[in-house]
Amino acid sequence: MPEKILIIDDDMDTLRLVGLMLQKLGYLISAAPNGVQGLAKAFEEKPDLILLDVMMPDMDGYEVARRLRKNPATVTIPILMFTAKTQLDDKVTGFEVGADDYLTKPTHPTELQAHVKALLARSTPKSPEEIVTASHEKHGYVIGVLSARGGLGVSSVASNLAASLYTRTQADVILAELTPGQGTLAMDLGLPQQTMLTELLHGTMAEVTREKVQSALVPHSSGLKVLLASEKPSDVTYISQIQNYEALVSRLSMFARFVVLDLGVGLPLFVQRLLPMCSERIVVLEGTAGAIHHTKILIDEITGLKIDRKSIGAVLNNRVRSEAQMSLNQVQEKLGHTIMSALTPAPELFMQAARMQTPAVISQPSNVTAQQFLKIADSVLEREKTK
């Protein structure tokens, strides 16, 4: 039996043209000119796919998607948002309310056809238990960790923060290394090399499914679930797959209470798109004049993305004992930004953690530096409560 597609759009031309095109491909077409009628048809007909416009009077597509996802009868139906809205915030909102894919108007018929086929191909029936779980699905607290330049300890801070959050809560925590071609966590944590991040970024956004993202997570003995970046240098080209990154982070936030993103260095375009999706951001620096200077510029540019400066934390990571390192007060004064924590140099601790292939807070939890990571986690937990 051919699949049924419900088109919800107040634009009569879109209803007619898209409907005829999909009909010629063999699909059964149902149409609704507004959100209210669209919901009624969706609940009654239970189509195989819903093509949903965002900008509609009375009830926009976001609200329609929310109601579809709250109803057990429609919670698993794929939603393809089809709209003229192209801003990042619009796309993020679409994913947050339950859209599976996103296309902007106008789109080429071949592109629409490909997205429709991909969504229908991966649409599978869910058990009643899965439907109840999905209908109450929540998004986790996402923390992006980055630095102005390399060698400042972003991966170390991200992994130890993730481990500290798990230690404090015993809740699901995901550590995601989002720097293809520059992966270090597999070696650091004694995990087998993975290509899953590359595979998720390689295909279309529609292929970044919940199932694929979940299967890409590798369990670690620390209790974390880890998404690993590859070590193959040429894979760095995949940082251009912006929409895949957006879909990936949206999916990750569905699987854990906390998601810690290792965003690497600087502000490539994918990082600019992901930072607004984070609940908070942590910038790592060291107490040298050069690092402070570049970090000050980085923080200014992040705020230029319309991100509240108060949601940007700074961690002073003094990794080496040196007289050249400035004090916490000196760094704060020169940076012009509050330092949320200053990590005491502990090279022996990190050497031991590397030998044990686990985060430092797990290898020696009573160490002063490990306790400082736990305090950072405590402050994150406090902010999570307010959100």
**Which H helix or E strand runs over 176?**
strand 173-177
Residues 22 and 114 in one domain: yes
CATH at 93: 3.40.50.2300
Residues 369 and 230 in one domain: yes
Residues 353 and 271 in one domain: yes
Nearest residue to 143 (alpha-carbon basis) of 287, 280, 329: 280
CA distance 180 to 201: 9
For 31-59, what is each residue's pLDDT tens digit?
999 999 999 999 999 999 999 998 888 89
For 321-378, what is each residue's pLDDT tens digit?
666 678 889 999 999 999 999 998 888 998 999 999 999 999 999 999 999 999 999 9
Helices (H), 140-278: 154-169, 185-189, 196-202, 210-215, 242-252, 269-274
Higher pLDDT, 82 or 84: 82
251 — phi, psi (to 5°)?
-65, -45
Between the alpha carbon of residue 76 and those of residues 119, 129, 133, 145, 210, the distances in Å are 12, 12, 11, 33, 12
DSSP 149: S
Residues 246 and 99 in one domain: no
The residue type of 366 is S
Whole domain around residue 244: which residue ranges? 141-386
pLDDT of 126 > 50? The answer is: no
Residues 179 and 305 in one domain: yes
Please state the rounded mean pLDDT for residues 11-15. 87
Residues 345 and 274 in one domain: yes
Q: What is the mean pLDDT of the chain?
A: 89
- Tell which of 135, 170, 191 closes a domain: 135
Residues 175 and 310 in one domain: yes
- Tell which of 135, 170, 199 closes a domain: 135
For 86-123, what is each residue's pLDDT tens digit?
555 667 777 888 888 888 877 788 888 888 988 888 76
Tokens 């579809």 sit at which residue? 68
CATH at 356: 3.40.50.300
- Tell which of 86, 106, 135 closes a domain: 135
Considering the entire predicted model, what is its pTM?
A: 0.67
Q: How many domains are there within the chain?
A: 2
Residues 92 and 163 in one domain: no
